[in-house]
Amino acid sequence: MSALEIKNLKVSVEGKEILKGLNLTINQGEVHAIMGPNGTGKSTLAYTLMGHPGYTVTGGEIIFKGKNILDLEADERSRAGIFLAFQYPVSIPGVTVANFLRTAINSRRRAANPEDKGISIPDFRTMLKEKMALLKMDPAFAGRYLNDGFSGGEKKRAEILQMATLKPEIAILDETDSGLDIDALRIVSEGVNALNGPDLGVLVITHYQRLLNYIKPQFVHIMMNGIIVESGGPDLALRLEEMGYDWVREKYEEVA
């Protein structure tokens, strides 16, 4: 079964149609990249998948594990197994990274079973240690306040650690406007590559071809004017790097 199926999705923001019938299927174990010029609706897609209330779905379906999830709130989607990495994560002074992650895990467990007592502290510590080792993170990081004074790269690390501990089935990473430096790019990419496996489907949204030098997607899609206009393999990203978007624009003059 496909993990995530987006069918003819139409989305409006403040009365203006931004997504105009977008189709995309992501299976677990697959890494997809969406690329496209600024303003084509890539972030709109990410926010809509997460269930942001400012984005009105006017048509189509989002099917996750066989169920239409359009009626689910953002937190319900998260507990169902969808993870969205925020472009601009909020800081929570007074709450450590470890506390935050334990709360998130427990909230998910309780949603699945109201009787659940939560993960024990020793089990949590063991798990966290494993994940941090996998991501080559300094254990001291877990004791810092979430995003409080974090550098761009550290915020990315916190995000990837969250992804590692929550074990989503679909992870969506919108990296479009965040001005990622090479260091942050590398962190995100190494994290995604370390977590990549048969249980995880990944959708990386990016304006920059260079991210794809680190994350190797099997599928590359080009988005323009609210729809996916071209899909292919990694060669498509290379073609964009060489030729830019003009050839796509020309090919799709009627939509661009």
Cβ atoms of residues 233 and 219 within 8 Å: yes
The correct pick among 28, 30, 31, 44 for binding ligand ADP (CB under 6 A) is 44
Find tokens 């990386």 and name the residue.
204
- Does residue 256 interact with ligand ADP by CB under 6 A? no
Instruction: Find the binding residues for ligand ADP in span 138-157 (CB under 6 A).
Output: none
Nearest to ligand ADP of 101, 172 (CB atom):
172
The correct pick among 13, 57, 70, 72 for binding ligand ADP (CB under 6 A) is 13
Partner from ligand ADP, Mg ion, none contacting 32, C-beta within 5 to 8 A by type: none
Instruction: Find the binding residues for ligand ADP in span 161-190 (CB under 6 A).
Output: 176
Backbone angles phi, psi at 222, to 5 degrees: -110, 130
Partner from Mg ion, ligand ADP, none contacting 40, C-beta within 5 to 8 A by type: ligand ADP
Residue 40 Cβ, how far from Mg ion at the closest point, in Å?
9
Token duo for residue 243:
């030729």
- Does residue 44 interact with Mg ion by CB under 5 A? no
Q: How far is CA 37 from CA 205, 224, 226, 246, in A?
A: 11, 7, 11, 10
Find tokens 């919108």 and name the residue.
174
Indicate the DSSP class of residue 239: H
Cβ atoms of residues 70 and 9 within 8 Å: no
Nearest to ligand ADP of 54, 149 (CB atom):
54
Give the span between the Cα atoms of 79 and 101, in whole angstroms.
13
Nearest to ligand ADP of 13, 72 (CB atom):
13
Phi-psi region of 68 (alpha: psi -120 to 50; beta: other; left: phi over 0): beta
The correct pick among 4, 9, 18, 85 for binding ligand ADP (CB under 6 A) is 18
- Does residue 43 interact with Mg ion by CB under 5 A? yes
Give the span between the Cα atoms of 80 and 189, in whole angstroms.
24
Backbone angles phi, psi at 182, to 5 degrees: -60, -35
- Does residue 206 interact with ligand ADP by CB under 6 A? no
Residue ranges that bind Mg ion, judged by CB under 5 A? 42-43, 176
Residue ranges that bind ligand ADP, judged by CB under 6 A? 13-14, 18, 36, 38-44, 54, 176
